[in-house]
Amino acid sequence: MAVFAIATLQLLQILAAAPVLSDTLASSPQGCASQCGNVSIPYPFGSGAGCHRDGFKLLCNETYHPPKLFLDNTGVLVLEISAQDGTMRIDGGILSLLAGNQTDDTVNLEWTVPLNGSLYTVSAENIFAVLGCGFRLMWTVPDPNGGDGTATTCYSNCTLGPPAIATDGTCSGVGCCYSGLFGYSNTFDIQYSTTERSHTMSSSLVVVDREWWSEKENVMAMQQAISAHSSSLGASGGVRRAVPGIEVSTVVNWVFSTSSCAADRNSSDYGCLSDNSECHDSSDTSGYICMCQRGYHGNPYIRHGCQDINECASPGEYSCFGECINLVGSYKCSCPRGTWGDPRKPSGCASTKRKFPGFVVVISICGGIAVPLIIIGALFVRRKLRGWKARKSREFFFKQNRGLLLQRLVDKDIAERMIFTLEELDKATNKFDEARKLGGGGHGTVYKGILSDQRVVAIKKSKIVIKREIDDFINEVAILSQVNHRNVVKLFGCCLETEVPLLVYEFISNGTLSDHLHVPTPLSLSWKERVRIALETARSLAYLHSAATISIVHRDIKSTNILLDERLIAKVSDFGASRGIPIDQTGVNTAVQGTFGYLDPEYYHTWRLTEKSDVYSFGVILVELLTRKKPSVRMSSPGASLTAEFILLVNQDKISEILDPQVIEEGGEEAKEVAAMAVMCLSLHGEDRPMMRQVETRLEALQTGAPGVGNSVGTDGPMLILNNPSLEQNNTNARENLSRRCSIEEEFLCSMSLPR
């Protein structure tokens, strides 16, 4: 019987192992090439007629040794394809960056891969990495939801020493910088400028797989390839190209179809054909991919493509040190007959043969008494240990989340009242249920919650736990704890007991100004509502600049950061980038933060932050209210930004060409008054811009219809008006002003016509 059992077990294992062999033959339809050089070709990809789905055609170039695989006619070199997880690795190439030998010489470039954006997107698993010296680099990742996108800045210099990069791919900031991606796109806008006058700078940029970048051999090979071909790279600045001797691995996500699983499930075009496959909607873009169920592997896009894994033949992944029997979709691991224990551990099965029966009886009796006592003691110790761990965890996260800094920045009693427990916020959001998710931005995700006292709140949860983000979080708490204004979103408190910091705000139910303004209908907010919202925003900024205990510069004023309640009352939000300025100072020097299109060009070039930086951003919002156009919109004039073209048309008395038709109909002469204020706020030099208190006074007079608005004087000094001679220039002077604006801002403002 024992011999028969062993023979039966061996037969079962042989039969279970058979699908693994057939799985390698089932990755592509019969008669289609399944390999090109070292790269496997799984369906829906293919190189021959009838072997691929539309959009997934490959070309195998056999003139290379070994042959190389390319994606159709795009010239994109394919390094690896995974049908199981919907990814593809390509040679992303190296983008050479060139600039002149003058400080602040700026060029605009694009890193682009020629892929079908509906099927393929560059994955956020990649990072931006730049090698070189003496540069400042800013790139913009488009927002997949149609927002302004996320801008990231890094810079490197050689004044601290020779260029250096660690063998694991990390950068010291000398000759190298890198950052993660915060979105999914095939095109990234890049602004590149020099910071050192003594050299003609040349650097190299790659969008590379994070794991590839961390491998010592890959980093060394890339450095050698760049060094060996530096002359040819430098001759083609701004061109993304492959470099002989190195294949830069870039991860690309792909979807089988642009429809959802539910839409395609019952159609003839449904892709998940294998019996043991399942459909997953993509979380990054529209469309879906198919995966084999747990216990199976292979190609889910062809019939019988997902086949059973023989766990018994893979001891490294599925540990079994006893008797292993493969089952369909699983396996059974047990100790051999006559032994007991844990067969998944080495030597885990012990013999049950009794050599000393009397001794075993004594041990059994003692064990019967001791086991209950041990269990009770273990439960007691476990309870005490869990309490100790929870206390230590809270203390650790309190320090990590800069709780001590918060106590120094805010009055201790106020700080204690503002702190919420994690347990209370878990109950308020049903453990941060996705159904409670309100939206997200570059810094975090916002959830709707209901506190125990029935207050409805918005809870902001940061995305990335790094020191700079935590400092921004504490800065926002400190700023908002000192602010009490009806047009500033109210901060109820924060939670410091978790790895990810949390902020608790009042809940604003009616979306953002951008949501209400940019709607696909002829009519939007009425003119009276636009003027009132502009006035309420100006009041809040005037309060922050001059009425708070310290002067607070918001630094990221834009239409998506102005919330509207159920009565359309404006509430300024998102103070993560705000900066306090002591009363006895006019400004501070700090790294650039903000959003393209709204960012003060003087602050961008000088790194000098003042209250007038918020005035410039407010001027952009006035233009947005007047035109119903986003700052990133492409303009009719080549190279012109929305603000530059707006100023030109105002100076040429052709403002009606750019105004929203609804504003022309409802605003009349008042619209010209607001346009004049916008032009003043958008002055290139901060000293030429009005203070927010002056703007507030002008808007109040405009809203109340006070007589003599066109010639009124603000409380802090004279306000320029539309009929001011400095604004009534002829067309020639207007064109000269626009040219001067473009030359001073370099590509900063004028490049706003490009999509961000």
> Which of the pair, 370 or 303, is modelled with greater confidence?
303
The amino acid present at 261, given as its one-letter code, is: C
Which residues touch 348 (CB under 8 Å, ≥6 apart)?
321, 322, 335, 341, 342
The three-class DSSP label of residue 477 is: helix
- Where b means 16+ CB within 10 Å and e means fewer, 680-699 reads bbbbbebeebbbbbbbbbbb
- Measured CA to CA, the distance from residue 261 to residue 271 in angstroms comes to 9
Q: How far apart are CA 689 and CA 601, in angstroms?
A: 13
- pLDDT of amino acid 3: 39
Give every CB contact of residue 688 below 8 A, 6+ residues apart in sequence. Answer: 680
Nearest to 554 by CA among 642, 456, 487: 487
Q: Tokens at residue 142, please?
A: 């488009």
Does 682 map to a domain? yes
Give the pLDDT band (50/70/90) at residue 17.
very low
Query: What's the Cα-to-Cα distance from 8 to each of 273, 312, 319, rounded to whole Å?
Result: 33, 15, 22
Residue type at 735?
R
Judgement on whether residues 635 and 741 belong to the same structural domain of the protein: yes
pLDDT band, very low/low/confident/very high, at 710 (cuts 50, 70, 90): very low
Please give the Cα distance from 276 to 53 (Å, whole number).
21
In DSSP terms, 59 is beta-bridged to 70
Cβ–Cβ < 8 Å for 45, 64: no
- Neighbour tally for 17: CB within 10 Å: 14
502 or 397, which is more confident: 502
- pLDDT tens for 199-254 read 545 678 889 998 888 887 887 888 788 777 766 665 556 677 788 878 999 999 99
Is 373 part of a structural domain of the chain?
no
Q: Are residues 500 and 518 in the same domain?
A: no
391 belongs to a structural domain: no
More confident residue, 445 or 725: 445
Nearest CA-CA partner of 289 in 254, 251, 262: 254
Tally of CA atoms within 13 A in the half-sphere of 745 that contains its CB: 26
**Chain centroid to CA 299:** 31
Domain end (from 461, 476, 506): 506
State which residues form the domain around 117. 89-254
pLDDT tens for each residue of 260-299: 999 999 888 999 999 899 999 988 778 999 999 888 888 9
125 and 252 Cβ atoms separated by less than 8 Å = no
> Structurally, how many domains does the chain consist of?
4
Token duo for residue 55? 């959009």
CA dist 698 → 94, 173, 187, 659, 701 (Å): 53, 47, 43, 20, 5
Better pLDDT: 370 or 470: 370
Domain identity same for 420 and 551: no
For residue 424, give both structure tokens. Answer: 């209370």
For the segment 567-595, what is each residue's pLDDT rounded down to a tens digit?
A: 999 999 887 778 888 777 888 888 888 88
The yes-or-no verdict on residue 700 having pLDDT over 90 is: yes
Q: Tens digit of pLDDT for each residue in 444-494?
A: 788 999 998 889 999 988 765 556 566 666 766 777 777 889 999 988 888
Terminal-residue alpha carbon distance, the chain: 75
Cβ-contact 101, 141 below 8 angstroms = no
Q: Tens of pLDDT along 59-113?
A: 999 999 899 999 988 889 999 999 988 999 999 988 887 655 555 567 788 888 8
Distances (CA, A) of 516 to 217, 568, 749: 52, 10, 25
pLDDT band at 548 (very low <50, low <70, confident <90, very high): low
Other beta carbons within 10 Å of 328: 11
686 and 541 part of one domain? yes
Residue 419 maps to a domain: yes
One-letter amino acid for residue 244 of the chain:
P
DSSP string covering 24-51, please? HHSSS-TTS--EETTEE--TT-BSSTTS
Name 527's Cβ contacts closer than 8 Å, sequence gap at least 6. 662, 663, 666, 667, 670, 671
Same-domain check for residues 580 and 656: yes
Q: Cis link prior to 66 (omega < 30° from 0)? A: yes
Q: How far apart are CA 131 and CA 176, in angstroms?
A: 5
- Determine which helix (DSSP H) or strand (DSSP E) holds 396, and give its type and residue range: helix 357-400
- CA–CA separation, 744 vs 602, rounded Å? 9
The verdict on whether omega for the bond into residue 343 sits within 30 degrees of 0, i.e. cis, is no
Give the mean pLDDT of 538-542: 95
Which pLDDT value is given to residue 463? 64
- The encoded tokens of residue 209 equal 């797989």
Q: What is the pLDDT of residue 291?
A: 93
CB atoms within 10 A of CB 308: 23
Residue 42 is assigned to a structural domain of this protein: no
Q: Are 300 and 73 in contact (CB under 8 A)?
A: no
With tokens 């006592």, the residue in question is 373
Query: 579-581 and 551-553 as β-strands: parallel, antiparallel, unpaired?
Result: antiparallel
DSSP letter for 265, please.
T
Same domain, 668 and 718: yes
Does the pLDDT of residue 624 top 90, yes or no? yes
Same domain, 336 and 240: no
- What percent of the chain has a predicted confidence (pLDDT) above 90? 33
pLDDT at 591: 81
Q: Retrieve residue 250's tokens.
A: 């870039």
- pLDDT band (50, 70, 90) for residue 132: confident
* CATH number where 202 lies: 2.60.120
Q: What is the mean pLDDT of the chain?
A: 79
362 domain residue, yes or no: no
| Dihedral over Cα of 375, 380, 384, 387: its sign | positive
Q: Indicate if the alpha-carbon torsion angle 403, 408, 413, 414 is positive or negative.
A: negative
Q: Is residue 50 in some structural domain?
A: no
Q: State residue 343's pLDDT score.
A: 86
Boundary residue ending a domain (450, 480, 506)? 506
Q: Are residues 613 and 645 located together in one domain of the fold?
A: yes
The secondary structure of residue 147, as a DSSP letter, is: S
Q: Please check whether residue 646 is in contact with residue 727, taking contact to mean a CB–CB distance below 8 angstroms.
A: no
Angle formed by the axes of helices 692-704 and 669-681, nearest 10°: 180
What are the φ and ψ backbone dihedral angles of 169, each rounded to 5 degrees? 90, -5
Same domain, residue pair 239 and 128: yes
- State which amino acid sits at residue 381: V
Percent helix, strand and coil across the chain, each to the nearest 5: 35, 25, 40
Catalytic residues: 556
Looking up residue 440, the CATH number of its domain turns out to be: 3.30.200.20
Q: Does the residue 539 lie in any domain?
A: yes
Residues 116 and 198 in one domain: yes
- Residues 469 and 328: their CA atoms lie apart, in Å, by 48
- Rounded alpha-carbon distances, angstroms, from residue 447 to 437, 452, 507, 684: 4, 16, 10, 39
Q: Which of 467, 490, 506 is the last residue of a domain?
A: 506
CATH number of the domain bearing residue 650: 1.10.510.10
Is there a single domain that holds both residue 501 and residue 585?
no
Q: How far apart are CA 473 and CA 575, in angstroms?
A: 9
* Shared domain check, 643 and 517: yes
